[in-house]
Amino acid sequence: MGAWSHEPFGNDDANDWAYDLEGVSDLSLVEAALDQALEVEDYLEAPEGSNAIAAVEVLAKLLGRGTQADSYTEKIDEWVKSVSIQPSPELLEKAKQVLARVVGEDSELKELWDEAGSHEWTASITALQQAISA
């Protein structure tokens, strides 16, 4: 995993996913990332988990409650301003399910961050859960 931070866009997978967001003007890519993570029956691999977390951060930003603001989110912030979309309650529910999935037992991200001994990642996910639930 090419990660340099515990934040939603603190890894290569999320940043690669964000480039595709620039090509859409709706939440189809966000929903697809959430669905992909939720459709995994067994073990959730890190790339799918990272993309889903990034998608949740986009939803949080659309609600005005993003958890990360730095050079890695500039393109996301610009996109959010350009689309002015409010996420549906159904999409926010999917986002909550995804966050529960990525901190669950069959999640590569959870395993990797546990092995690294970092509690910052768990705190970051908790902040996202609060941002989309407020």
51-104 residue pLDDT tens:
999 999 999 999 999 999 999 899 999 999 999 899 999 999 999 999 999 999
Helix (H, G, I), strand (E, B) or coil at 44: strand
93-130 residue pLDDT tens:
999 999 999 999 999 999 999 999 888 999 999 999 99
The pTM score is: 0.95
In this structure, what token pair is assigned to residue 64?
């005005």
DSSP letter at 30?
Answer: H
41-51 residue pLDDT tens:
999 999 999 99
d(CA 61, CA 30): 12
Where in the chain are the domains? 12-133
